Chains A and B, each alone.
Chain A
Amino acid sequence: MSQQEPIREMICISCPLGCHLSLYKDENDELTVTGNKCKRGVVYAEEEYYAPKRVVTCTCPAESEVFPRLPVRTTTSLPKEHIDALLRAAYALTVKPPVACGEVLIENFEGTGVDLIASMSLGAEQ
């Protein structure tokens, strides 16, 4: 394997160590990972290679004088290819207070099973 070029290199972000991982594929298309100091590195590399996901946090316009933007987030991490569409959908919403922290604003975005929720409460008087 030492002669083989890695197909991807990445830095593990499971902990502050920041191991530099090298990803290889063998003839059976199996992924192997080197450079990790613990098994979490393998899990991270596999997910990051096959299905990279991110938690998205942004804001929606809100009909409020005090807070014209309402902070929002996805309930869990969203497959990366859906991020741009989610951002556009969030910016196109207008939220009318009152809204409670955790309230679902978009359910099951594009069938991903991920919701967009309010991450701050806005009272009716705000």
Chain B
Amino acid sequence: MLSEIPLSYFLVVSTLMFFIGIYGFLTRKNLITILMAVELILNSVNINFVAFNRYLFPNQLEGHFFSLFIIAVAAAEAAVAIAIIISVYRRYSNIDVERVDTMKY
């Protein structure tokens, strides 16, 4: 059943998700949306890991471990990112990424 779906389908989906994430990351001005885009990128990677594990090395579990790690790290990263976004908001009274440019020359 699952094995009837070829690996390339999973890869197409994950690639699409990855570039949607990249596109969102580069175009959205709202920091929260950017964060969501980053999550999309991470999840596309997760799909790759799981799919490769299932199709190439069905007897091993490393791919699953990595995706679990990534989910945990993404959760932690979301917490940190939200904290940063909140302090940006406190300082600039909005969360527009173009306003946060004090690191320029």
Question: Does chain A bind chain B?
Answer: no
Residues on A lying within 8 angstroms of B by beta carbon are none
Residues on B lying within 8 angstroms of A by beta carbon are none
